[in-house]
Amino acid sequence: MAYLDHAATTPMLPEAVRAMTAQLTAAGNASSLHAAGRRARRTVEESRESLAVALGARPSEIVFTGGGTESDNLAIKGLYWSRRAADPRRTRVLTSPVEHHAVLDAVHWLAEHEGASVEYLPVDELGRVSPDALREAIARDPSDVALVTVMWANNEIGTIMPVIELARIAREFDVPMHADAVQAFGQLELDFSATGLAALTVSGHKVGGPYGIGALLLRREYAPVPLLHGGGQERHVRSGTLDVPAIAGFAVAGRIAAERRKEFAREVGALRDDLVRAVQTAVPDAVLGGDPDPAGRLPANAHFSFPGCEGDSLLLLLDAQGIECSTGSACTAGVAQPSHVVLATGSSADLARGTLRFSLGHTSTRVDVDALADAIGPAVERARTAGLS
């Protein structure tokens, strides 16, 4: 079995499993005042501190959520509502067309139901937003911008955005900027305090932690309107009993991801480069998606379009050979749609249907790459016979 879909989810680290299971049998609600509650609270706060170190943030800037999607929604809807409440002119949302659906659908919902006008900043053929485009868009009328949200690195094609420059520009105009860093965490250096971002999304299960836990890093001066109302557990921004075992597991995984980041990026990056060469050797007309310069893309990401192939067919054929990857695009009722990311980079609709994303992780070895190298050529040949239905 060659698991090449770590960007979808990656196996939990043994250290995270241990930290999490240690908490599963312990009683105590972190909001309770008795000894058991204090014990649970201590675990939560130590986890918060540990993650804060890993992400260059203050502990008070970490808001635990139910995952990346919730963090994105809280940042985008919450900041939109609070910014508009402070000044009703602020209804413009600036984003990119290559965002994850958790961002795209949230801004789309604001446009449909909350009077937002969404402006998609142009991206180049690598899927990258230019700082000049953001400056121009804000400068056109700084008073009506509610927020900016641009991802740190793309989940499909792996392109790294110039987030630090973008955040600096947003800050110049006093506009809050959010970045979805779900894919970047563990692969790129994230120093939240240094970036000037208002908010940043990270997720547990993408870095070797458990599912169902994430965090929104939120600068202290921002108070987004909550999505969930209740006990007010997390800064009155996010209610709900704290999931102590998941938080403990996430914190350990996050700490290790940050500690091992450089080494991981170097090793997995070399493996990825081998994978890219192997695919290009087996299928000379395969089109590498995203930035060909390794410095401009996530070290664990490889993305290809295979002309004349249906991504679905390739996935089926590789799956039958024990190679697990993704078409990279979202599904509607189980039906793969041409990737909006690949379309946004200017690819033809046919090419956008024939994409595969291979993503490596902490369990990846050369054996996985070799298995793909053997299987990809015949699979592409066969998928071409099946054609584009």
Q: Could you tell me how many residues of this chain bind other proteins (CB under 8 A)? A: 17
Residue 356 in the binding site for other proteins (CB under 8 A): no
Please select the residue that binds other proteins; options are 312, 354, 356, 380, rule is CB under 8 A: 312
Measured from the CB of residue 10, what is the shortest distance to other proteins in angstroms? 22
33 vs 335 by CB, closer to other proteins: 335
Stretch that binds other proteins, among 83-91, 157-165, 255-263, 315-323 (CB under 8 A): 315-323
Stretch that binds other proteins, among 21-29, 63-71, 362-370, 378-386 (CB under 8 A): 378-386
Active site residues: 331
Please select the residue that binds other proteins; options are 164, 287, 316, 373, rule is CB under 8 A: 316
Residue 125 in the binding site for other proteins (CB under 8 A): no
Other Cβ atoms within 10 Å of 44 Cβ, number: 21
Q: Which of 14, 2, 45 is nearest to 373 (CA)?
A: 2
3-state SS class at 96:
coil
Q: Provide the mask over 319-338, with x wherever binding to other proteins is found by CB under 8 A and - wherever it is not.
A: xx----------x-xxxx--
Residue reference for tokens 């695919």? 279
Please select the residue that binds other proteins; options are 33, 113, 229, 385, rule is CB under 8 A: 385
Measured from the CB of residue 383, what is the shortest distance to other proteins in angstroms? 7
Q: Which of 212, 217, 209, 83 is nearest to 152 (CA)?
A: 217
Residue reference for tokens 């749609």? 337
Residue 8 in the binding site for other proteins (CB under 8 A): no
| Residue 62 bridge partners (DSSP) | 217
3-state SS class at 20:
helix
Residue 1 in the binding site for other proteins (CB under 8 A): no
Q: How many CA atoms lie within 13 A of 230 on its CB side?
A: 11
Q: Which of 370, 367, 384 is nearest to 305 (CA)?
A: 384
Q: Which of residues 91-110 bind other proteins (CB under 8 A)?
A: none
Please select the residue that binds other proteins; options are 69, 187, 313, 364, rule is CB under 8 A: 313
Q: How far apart are CA 297 and CA 313, in angstroms?
A: 26
Q: Which of 70, 72, 52 is nearest to 212 (CA)?
A: 70
Measured from the CB of residue 381, what is the shortest distance to other proteins in angstroms? 10
Stretch that binds other proteins, among 99-107, 215-223, 265-273, 379-387 (CB under 8 A): 379-387
Q: Which of 55, 342, 303, 295 is nearest to 182 (CA)?
A: 55
Residue 317 in the binding site for other proteins (CB under 8 A): yes
Measured from the CB of residue 316, what is the shortest distance to other proteins in angstroms? 6
Q: Are 188 and 179 in contact (CB under 8 A)?
A: no
3-state SS class at 56:
coil
**Which residues form the interface with other proteins (CB under 8 A)?**
312-313, 316-317, 319-320, 331, 333-336, 382-383, 385-387, 389
